[in-house]
């Protein structure tokens, strides 16, 4: 466990969004179901109690999912691309939203990043490239 006097924020302390809450809930439910299935299989195969089997197949610490960024941006189209597709009335820029979603797992009091994902959302009003 981390030092009780430490002021270091943990993944759980990061701001929640509707997206991160949805993803985290879904992952936690699926993980719990899978651990229970694995424990049942182990319990039956090795003739041990469910409690003991659950401890043996336990997945470690809690999973936390947070959306750590969400930025509206514009991608400027370069001159050569605009000239090449001038006959198509090619736009000068494309607007998009960039989000970063991080999956953490708490292992021995330390939040470890398991996975990071950047998502680029393009507006439905954007013309096709």
Predicted confidence (pLDDT) per residue in 12-38, tens digit: 999 999 999 999 999 999 999 999 999
Q: Is 61 left (phi over 0), alpha (psi -120 to 50) or beta?
A: beta
CB contact burial 97-111 (16+ within 10 A = b; e otherwise): eebebbbbbbeeeeb
**Model confidence pLDDT, tens digit, residues 34-78:** 999 999 998 999 989 988 888 888 888 899 999 999 999 998 989
Strand order in the sheet with 63-76: 63-76, 93-107, 110-122
Query: How many CB atoms lie under 10 A from the CB of residue 36?
Result: 14
| Report field, pTM of the whole predicted structure over 0.85 | no
Structure tokens, 76: 């400027």
């Amino acid at each position: 466990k981390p030092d009780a006097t430490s002021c270091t924020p943990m993944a759980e302390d990061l701001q929640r969004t509707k997206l991160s809450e949805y993803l985290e809930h879904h992952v936690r439910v699926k993980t719990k179901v899978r651990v229970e299935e694995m424990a049942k299989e182990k319990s039956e195969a090795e003739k041990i109690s469910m409690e003991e089997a659950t401890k043996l197949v336990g997945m470690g610490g809690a999973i936390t999912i947070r959306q750590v960024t969400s930025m509206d941006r514009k991608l400027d189209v370069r001159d050569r691309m605009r000239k090449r597709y001038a006959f198509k009335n090619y736009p000068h820029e494309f607007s998009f939203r960039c989000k970063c979603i991080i999956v953490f797992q708490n292992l021995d009091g330390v939040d470890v990043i398991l996975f990071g994902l950047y998502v680029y959302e393009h507006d439905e009003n954007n013309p096709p490239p």
